[in-house]
Amino acid sequence: MKKIITFAAAAAMASPLAIATAAAGDLDIYGRAHISVDHLDDDTDSSQYLMSNSSRLGVRGSEYLGMGLTGLFQYETAVDLVDGGTSGLFGQGRDSYLGLTGDFGTLLGGRLSGPLKSAVDRTNVMIDQLGDAHNLLSPAASLGGAQDEAGTDREDVVRSGVPANNVRHNNVLAYVTPSFQGFNATFVYGPRQGVDKGDRFVIQPEFNGQVGAGNLFVALGYLRANEGLVNELAGEMETHEVWQLVAEYKEAGNWRIMGVFQDYGQSDTYDLVFNGNGDDRVYGIGAGFYIAPSTELKGQVMFYDADRSNADSDMFALAVDHHLTDRTKVYGNWAMIKNDDNVARTMHNYGHRSGTNNIGDEGTTPALGDDQWGVSFGVQHNF
């Protein structure tokens, strides 16, 4: 039972690149329904929310074309189960593509999760729960919108991170090499799309295979977003670069441990925005232990280490997941983020946010230097 549950959970979180390289049936309708009741507190206000968390609906399939080639397709959309979002029940498009696979590997074109994002998704202990690692790894940059305790705008303070780290990429081509002894690599290219220097490149070699009694996964990723693609910050266009290392070791149905390290030291964007103090890093570890055949106790800590002063954040999360079947689980979850004086990062805003549309913002918008915490009780069903 433990192995079945673990395999089903892994399949539900697998990246489209991994799914596309696997053997597939002619047509598959799939999805996820995930709702939770949350209490969020941002040091100033608190409130309760009913959330829809990365719920989705998709169709994917394949057709053998002859000569050892198989055509692939997928269309996936976000689904907001609680308030319809800003555009009705079906929200923003998720991973969608048309592709071709064979002995040469797999080639896809469309809107795709970057390999840096996919590597974290498959190892992220708190995925789509409060304290999801992507809260510190993925947020977009903003020079405005932050205020100090007196309510004065702080245009010099970035509320979150930098664009184009662990994201879905629009208008990209991706190539996945065949696997050899557990090793393969993913290459992503985004053309200019009519914008001068608007291209991007992502490369990630990885290993995934059995080592000892368990399975080892290691991925080293590099992303470069050129001047035309990066948001115009501080009046100039600059490149954005990031390195990321992800590793996980697990014994299916027994325990798992993961670690992630992300570095922005080569990013011109960071140095520009922070006046040369842009050598930032994000790192953390997470672990899960099955305390009963169908119950996993999980914990994760993440740290944002900023080069500039008083701009760090520490995020902590705990959860208990209980699998009712191989496709349905219930959970309880607690998380907290502690911010230095010059930042106002959150721990609820990635994969766990729908339900706040067109409503108030109590508990969800900490002021500079304020902490945020929350508890969540949810149910998730994969089909």
pTM greater than 0.75 (yes/no) = yes
The pLDDT value given to residue 350: 85
**258 touches 246 (CB < 8 A):** yes
What local confidence, expressed as pLDDT, does residue 298 receive? 98
| pLDDT digit string, tens, across residues 212-228 | 999 999 999 999 887 66
Residue that is written with structure tokens 């309760």 in the block? 48
Position 379 scores a pLDDT of 98
Please name the residues in contact with 308: beta carbons below 8 A apart, sequence gap of 6 or more: 274, 277, 278, 342
| pLDDT for residue 81 | 87
SS (H, E, C) 262-303: EECCCCHHHHHHCCCCCCCEEEEEEEEEEEECCEEEEEEEEE
Which tens digit of pLDDT belongs to each residue from 240-267? Answer: 788 999 999 999 989 999 999 999 877 7
| Low-confidence stretches of the chain (pLDDT beneath 70) | 1-25, 84-91, 139-164, 197, 227-237, 268-278, 353-360
Predicted confidence at residue 36, as pLDDT, reads 96
Residue type, 219: A
Classify residue 142 by its DSSP letter: -
- Mapping DSSP to helix (H, G, I), strand (E, B) and coil, where does residue 125 land? coil
Q: If DSSP codes are grouped into helix, strand and coil, which group holds residue 363?
A: coil
Q: What is the pLDDT of residue 12?
A: 43
Question: What is residue 234's predicted lDDT score, i.e. its pLDDT?
Answer: 43
